[in-house]
Amino acid sequence: MSIVVTGATGHLGRHVVEQLLEKVPAEQVTAVVRTPEKAADLAEKGVKIAVADYNSPETFDHLFAAGDKVLLISGNEFDKGRPAQHQVVIDAAKAAGVALLAYTSAPGTLTAALADDHRATEEALLASGLPYSLLRNSWYNENYTENLAPVLEHGVVVQAAGDGRVSTASRADYAAAAVAVLTGEGHENSTYELGGDEPWGFAEYAAELSRQTGREIGYNAVSVDAFTGILTGAGVPAPFAEILAGVDASIEKGELVITSGDLARLTGRPATPIAASIEAALKN
């Protein structure tokens, strides 16, 4: 029996694998990757490496075994039909008879276009009859803190979220929740709404940046169309820019405020506050 993680060298996947190694022997962990060279450090730790691609269904033949617990980390190729990519993994998992297929989804309250692929994948997973766990991750702290350079350069946070609030947590937090499900018992046919403990708004975010940098940083709330134009002007592909701007519109409507407490319950600790992620980002 293995715990199998797809997308294992991605931002979230790497956190999951590293945290799994704190809980189970390395030989019980299989990292599914497209580029094995990127997983060389994991292989050195004893993790099994499997090479497979969501776009090549045959690469998943015989990859899973009966009794495996699998984490399907959603793909990031928005232009290649993610539900069909995810279906490849679901079909292979069903053929093998895995014990659990966990999927990193989006909050059930989210109506933005970003959620469409996730809802379609959830429907496919439920239709498969496999034991499942839906890990409905809210937005990540790192979505904002990983690219602070433009904010610091211009002294302003620009978003299309109005006065909306968002419940974020760090990638490590969401990874810890996934690890709890993969290594624990009783998570079959479960749905977890995962998000940070304290929702925050972008005026507060700008104020926290000001406090930590000692500089005056403001918040400029723009329209969805204006924000889409800003993103595309910065080099973000238009379809992805529209998705990001659509998420901001959902934030303004309160769709990313998560009150379930599921994340802290699964991890056994408070979620990482946005201030801590800002502090970590400014040190790098």
pLDDT digits (tens, 9 = 90+) for 75-84: 776 666 789 9
Question: Taking a C-beta distance cutoff of 8 angstroms, is the pair 272, 170 a contact?
Answer: yes
Q: What is the pLDDT of residue 284?
A: 81
Q: Hey, how many other C-beta atoms are within 10 angstroms of the C-beta on 150?
A: 12
The angle subtended at Cα 192 by Cα 50 and Cα 77, nearest 5°, is 45
Could you give the CA distance from residue 171 to residue 165 in angstroms, rounded to a whole number?
19
pTM attached to this predicted model: 0.96
Q: What is the pLDDT of residue 77?
A: 67
Alpha-carbon distance 211 to 201, whole Å? 15
Question: Is 176:192 a contact under the CB 8 Å cutoff?
Answer: no
> Per residue in 68-121, pLDDT tens?
999 999 977 666 678 999 999 999 999 999 999 999 999 999 999 889 999 999
Please tell me the predicted confidence (pLDDT) of residue 76. Answer: 73
CA distance 39 to 52: 13
Q: What is the pLDDT of residue 129?
A: 97
pLDDT, residue 80, reads: 61
The contacts of residue 271 (CB under 8 Å, 6+ apart) are: 169, 170, 173, 195, 196, 197, 263, 264
The pLDDT of residue 7? 93
What is the reported pLDDT for 218? Answer: 97
pLDDT at residue number 75: 79
Q: How far is CA 37 from CA 34, 72, 159, in A?
A: 9, 21, 37
- The low-confidence residues of the chain, meaning pLDDT below 50, are none
Nearest to 72 by CA among 62, 87, 51: 87
Where is 201: in which H helix or E strand? strand 200-201
